Structure 1
Amino acid sequence: QIINGSMTVKKQFSYTLIPQEKGTFTIPPIDVTVDGRAYKSNPVAVVIGDSGHVRPHQSPGINQNPFTQGIPQIPGGIPDQRPNNLDRENDVPYWIETNISKKNPFLNEQVIFAFRFYTSVNVGTASLTLPAFKDFSVEELVPEKKGYQTINGKRYVVSEKILALFPLKAGKINIEDTSLRVEVPDESANPFNDPFFFGMGRTRLKVKNLKSKGMQIDVKQLPTENQTDHFTGLVGHFDLETKSDPKEVLQGDSVSYQITLKGRGNIKEAVLPPFNFSPNIKVYDDNPTVNLVRKESGVEGEKIFKKALVPTQSGSFEIPEGVVSYFDPDKQQYIDLNLAKQIISVKPVQSENLSIAKGMPVDQTMNKNQVQAPETNGLLPLAPVLGSNLFENIGAEIVQLSIIFYLIPPFLFLGLFLFKRGSFKRNKNSRVLAFQKFKNKLRKIPVGEGWAIKIEKSLKDYFEHRFKLVGHALTPIEMAALFEQNGVGKDLILRFIQMMNVLQSLIYNQTGKQEVTFNLQEFCELLEVMNQKIKI
């Protein structure tokens, strides 16, 4: 570089380091002596992990640029499947190609789409445009993987992106072209790049649009022979596990029933067959949980289905058998996975006085027709005024007796009114205090494991006290029915059911992966309004 007649020369050395084991390593400083003066570079720490993948901090989407991190200085591995067009006559410095693992798959069968970019020169920024894949369900397997490969004695940097495709329709499907817009060296733009000038020129870049031609695949329809009613479109290789816990419960307590489907294929689309449970079993379905493992070879993992079963009668009940069917594309046949029948024993709740079927409270200790008569001590002293000789003052006595008989009904009505009013105030104050105690109890429940279960238990205790019930076999629907029978509006009941459904999902979802929140403050405020609306 020449500035104001003064020439500056820069010489750059590049090294490729291939790690042989994982760990943390330090590249020591490099000593250089120029014109008798010593210079030293700074040390560089390098962390080597298990994977050969080089991943950006944020995984790019399907049509985003996967090459923002530049060409790797540390090589990694590449898939075992090699490109099918590496025998090139022309010694080109860069190109792209795409291939697919199977061109005649079955409907819903998983196939692997791979994009690769080869370059033997340093390049600048790059922007990748993949096909739309509108007739496929797409899962990204490898956002970006970089490594080195020697082809015809020349080393290339290989950048690749791998996707799993699941065809959604049968017949011929066209996959569009794939293109890469990349900045490559423009060697002709600077004459100082010639070796005669010791490579002192600064390399200019030019934009190059690389394209890989599209392809067509022929998707086969699934065979109808031996296809059963249990088949719902599951294609791949799968296995099934079931468990229920506990095997023995009290009436009104819940049983957790879990079905886990494992395997490789379109597992996200799996659904369960319908179950014919006894009408004495209330069933609460949890949202399925999908745990996927994305490998270069394809998508595999598990899908977990959970049900909470609540028996409303004692005795024993069975979890019925069922069948999950899938199509094996390698064997080209349907395979049934059987769900075995399971028996659950239900013990009765002691001192149960609640009729769940009717949803009405029964009070054996209080006769609502009994009313305490008011004391009449204030009326008794009137008798001596009538005189000791009844026969002598018969006329006056009749008059005073008539007055007494006329006064008795209003005094009785007034006494009964005051008694009822006092009783109402006492009951109202008792209800207010009881609800305040219940609300304080809810707010003191610590957030953590078992939090939702403790809230449900406190709520059932509140129902016991408020409606004079015995037992804990109430479901959210039956709680709502009690509110409705006692004058609470339907809009409040609907909100109550919605919040109880959230609470139930927190209780029976044991994966801890669901993004579910429960607003305890809002729940307390709702119950306070409903408590005021109750007519009893």
Structure 2
Amino acid sequence: MRKLFGITFLLSFFLAQSSFASVGIQASLDRNTGTLEDEIELTITISGELSTAEPNLPSMPAFHIVASGSSSNIQMINGILSVQKEYSYLLIPQAEGQFTIEPISITINGKVYKSNPLTIQIGRSAMVPQPRVPLDPDQQNLGGGSNVNPPTNPPTSPNPDETNDNKPYWIEVAVNNQTPYKGEQIFYTFKLYTKINIETATLTLPAFDGFTIEEIVPEKKYYQTINNERYVISEKVIAIFPLKKGPVEIEPTNLKVEVYNTTAMPRGFFQDPFFGFGKTKGRSFNLISPKINLVIKDLPEPIPSHFIGFVGELKLKSQSTPSEIDYGDSVTQTLTFEGIGNIKDIILPKISPPLGLKVYEDKPTQNIVKLESGIKGEKIFKRAFVPTQVGKFQIPPLSLSYFDPTAEAYKNLDITELLISVKETENTRQVAINKNTDLKEIKQNPLLLHQVVLKSIMPQSFWFILLLIFFIPLPLLYFFLKKIKEVKPQSLIKKEYRRSYSKLLSQIKVAKRISIMENRVEKMIMALKDFIGARTKTQARSLTLSELMFLLEKSGAHKKVLNDFSHLYILLEKTKYSGKSGQISENITDMISKVAKEILKIT
């Protein structure tokens, strides 16, 4: 017990003495020169005091700083207690030049201690050549993929005489056009050249602020011989589209690699530089490309009023269904744009149809293909022209414009004139019904709701004979039917109406389960017509909106009921031709139910 007490006392004594010893702080680097690819280790050693305070690093904008840990050491040698703590940091160079690291400070017991300054020289990495337009190599594709041609313009390899000095690996970035137009497709290409195995590789691409981007070559590998040395090239190509004019800077690309073997040559796919096998812990290197400066040109003025927002190469195909149709049918116009560039940017201007035609715009579809030569594809627009009356209609020709950056000029795509002829048929003739027509006559003869001009077809004598034959029976039949209607219990009438209402709701539920939008809406419209027909004792399936509204008005429907019904019917009709499910709200059943209940209240 006494021995333990003595050891504790002595340790406390020496620790107390050490607190009065002078405190020192020393900064050191594992090397004073390096390149942009190196990671330089900064070590800060604090001696004479075991403190929990951490060093205060000065501003070092030329480096990315990563803390890599700390360690403590307490020793007693020849009765002298030594206390020391080390802090380690990795300095990753971000720029070339000579830099001074100002003294590093630490505060202990209220007193500030400072280290010595450091000087470091950073040179350009031999593994990161400046952007250039290189020579086209003979390429052999790796990994069992199909051979594909490289982009038309992007650089594909370095100039061996300029960049290859028996270096084991390097990276390269380039764009194929440093002065593109706003919206023009250009290519950003990254390549890693290596003749040794690389254990791991982590690629960090720029954010591409001010661009929309599409990756068109995720990664392609192939062999290339440079100065009698065989290299594996890993390539990535990105299509970028400038969004604004003026100078734009593309930030550096960073590739962090860990190299564990500087002599082995990859001999096949499984010895890929990205996936080299081995157990030796390698050294990490950061390959940082230079920035790329672009000057984006604005589209020339004046911009045509019919400009569709596309920059690139473009063609147009225009097709229409037969332009001579029966009333009740529609004409569909299909416009297919095919081109190279950002097809998604194409916007089709709205058109104003002539009186007697309605136009419904379908949601455009697009088929995009990502090739090494760039973004290609097609965007398809469809319009349905629906006549509301019989006659001939003209859709005037339309000229659309896009910008061709190769020709540096706007080019036109012409849509020819569309003539639509709408003719009557026996089942779709409209009727000019006198507002004073008795609803009882309509119930007895639904054909009065169509424009049937029998007078021009049959001789007047026929009508005279027909009237003589039916002159006496018709009044008797009329009074007989009226008497039956009067004695029919009101409860039975209401029961029939409720039954037709329940049938309507049941048909709507069935329609909602139909997957094809056009068929689903058609089912709903027919159910609604059947309900009105049951309410008005009329065959209503072939009737138009105006004819249905006339029936409801003659049945006693007030203005609000007519407006609600018209709004619902037009909504369903528009959705049927446009194919936009968003046009029908989720509570469509409630909408139909509400209108149907209003119709039931008509007396």
* TM-score normalised by structure 1 residue count: 0.63
Superposed CA deviations along residues 8-64 of structure 1, whole A, max 9, x for unmatched, are xxxxxxxxxxxxxxxxxxxxxxxxxxxxxxxxxxxxxxxxxxxxxxxxxxxxxxxxx
Distance (Å, rounded) in 2 between the aligned partners of 1:360 and 1:122:
95
The answer to whether the 8 A contact 2:180-2:297 is kept is: yes
The answer to whether the 8 A contact 2:508-2:527 is kept is: no
Aligned counterpart, 2:150: 79
Helix, strand or coil at the partner of 1:125: strand
Aligned counterpart, 2:256: 181
Aligned counterpart, 1:471: 542
- 2:223 equivalent among 145, 148, 151: 148
Superposed CA deviations along residues 411-433 of structure 1, whole A, max 9, x for unmatched, are xxxx98x9673364244245236
Aligned counterpart, 2:490: 421
Helix, strand or coil at the partner of 1:310: strand
Distance (Å, rounded) in 2 between the aligned partners of 1:296 and 1:359:
69
Aligned counterpart, 1:138: 213
Map 1:291-370 → 2, pairs under 5 A: 291-350=367-426, 363=439, 364-366=441-443
Map 1:189-200 → 2, pairs under 5 A: none
- For the pair 1:258 / 2:334, whether they are aligned, the reply is yes
Helix, strand or coil at the partner of 2:592: helix
Shift of 1:365: 2.5
Shift of 1:83: 2.6
Helix, strand or coil at the partner of 1:313: coil
CA 103–520 in structure 1, closer or farther in 2 if over 3 Å, else same: closer
Distance (Å, rounded) in 2 between the aligned partners of 1:474 and 1:158:
68
Shift of 1:323: 0.9
The answer to whether the 8 A contact 1:253-1:473 is kept is: no
Aligned counterpart, 1:170: 245
Distance (Å, rounded) in 1 between the aligned partners of 2:430 and 2:499:
23
Superposed CA deviations along residues 373-396 of structure 1, whole A, max 9, x for unmatched, are 889xxxxxxxxxxxxxxxxxxxxx
* Deviates most, 232-241 or 338-347: 232-241
CA 265–316 in structure 1, closer or farther in 2 if over 3 Å, else same: same
Distance (Å, rounded) in 2 between the aligned partners of 1:201 and 1:427:
86
Distance (Å, rounded) in 2 between the aligned partners of 1:489 and 1:251:
24
The answer to whether the 8 A contact 1:460-1:474 is kept is: no
Structure 1: 5+ residue runs without aligned partners?
1-70, 189-199, 376-414, 510-515
Shift of 1:343: 1.0
The answer to whether the 8 A contact 1:186-1:204 is kept is: no
The answer to whether the 8 A contact 2:210-2:244 is kept is: yes
Aligned counterpart, 1:393: none
The answer to whether the 8 A contact 1:275-1:320 is kept is: no
Shift of 1:107: 1.9
Aligned counterpart, 2:592: 527
Shift of 1:108: 1.5
Shift of 1:114: 0.8
Distance (Å, rounded) in 1 between the aligned partners of 2:436 and 2:383:
28
- The one-letter amino acid of 1:259's match is L
Superposed CA deviations along residues 322-353 of structure 1, whole A, max 9, x for unmatched, are 11111222222221111100111111253658
Superposed CA deviations along residues 199-248 of structure 1, whole A, max 9, x for unmatched, are x98422333221111111112222226x4322243221111111111322
The answer to whether the 8 A contact 2:508-2:524 is kept is: no
Aligned counterpart, 2:176: 101
- The one-letter amino acid of 1:318's match is Q
- For the pair 1:458 / 2:535, whether they are aligned, the reply is no
- The one-letter amino acid of 1:286's match is D
Structure 2: 5+ residue runs without aligned partners?
1-140, 264-276, 445-478
Map 1:389-408 → 2, pairs under 5 A: none
Distance (Å, rounded) in 2 between the aligned partners of 1:472 and 1:433:
22
The answer to whether the 8 A contact 1:285-1:307 is kept is: yes
Distance (Å, rounded) in 2 between the aligned partners of 1:159 and 1:359:
81
Helix, strand or coil at the partner of 2:198: coil
- 1:432 equivalent among 477, 501, 506: 501
* Deviates most, 260-269 or 83-92: 83-92
Shift of 1:318: 1.9
The answer to whether the 8 A contact 1:353-1:471 is kept is: no
Helix, strand or coil at the partner of 1:235: strand
- For the pair 1:208 / 2:285, whether they are aligned, the reply is yes
Number of aligned residue pairs: 401
Superposed CA deviations along residues 471-519 of structure 1, whole A, max 9, x for unmatched, are 35449x999x9999564997x998887776655444xx8xxxxxx6999
Distance (Å, rounded) in 1 between the aligned partners of 2:586 and 2:438:
32
- 1:249 equivalent among 325, 328, 348: 325
* Deviates most, 518-527 or 460-469: 518-527
Helix, strand or coil at the partner of 1:527: helix
Shift of 1:173: 1.0
CA 502–155 in structure 1, closer or farther in 2 if over 3 Å, else same: farther
The answer to whether the 8 A contact 1:174-1:217 is kept is: yes
Map 1:13-24 → 2, pairs under 5 A: none
Shift of 1:127: 2.2
Helix, strand or coil at the partner of 2:402: strand
- 2:195 equivalent among 112, 120, 133: 120
The answer to whether the 8 A contact 1:99-1:115 is kept is: yes
CA 372–315 in structure 1, closer or farther in 2 if over 3 Å, else same: closer
CA 438–91 in structure 1, closer or farther in 2 if over 3 Å, else same: same
The answer to whether the 8 A contact 1:488-1:530 is kept is: no
**Overall identity of the aligned pairs, in %:** 32
- 2:299 equivalent among 213, 222, 226: 222
CA 154–275 in structure 1, closer or farther in 2 if over 3 Å, else same: same
Distance (Å, rounded) in 1 between the aligned partners of 2:541 and 2:249:
67
Shift of 1:125: 3.1
Shift of 1:139: 1.7
CA 351–366 in structure 1, closer or farther in 2 if over 3 Å, else same: same
The answer to whether the 8 A contact 2:197-2:261 is kept is: no
The answer to whether the 8 A contact 1:236-1:329 is kept is: yes
The answer to whether the 8 A contact 1:354-1:471 is kept is: no
- The one-letter amino acid of 2:523's match is I
Helix, strand or coil at the partner of 1:365: helix
Superposed CA deviations along residues 78-103 of structure 1, whole A, max 9, x for unmatched, are 72642345432532222211111111
CA 487–273 in structure 1, closer or farther in 2 if over 3 Å, else same: closer
Distance (Å, rounded) in 2 between the aligned partners of 1:356 and 1:429:
32
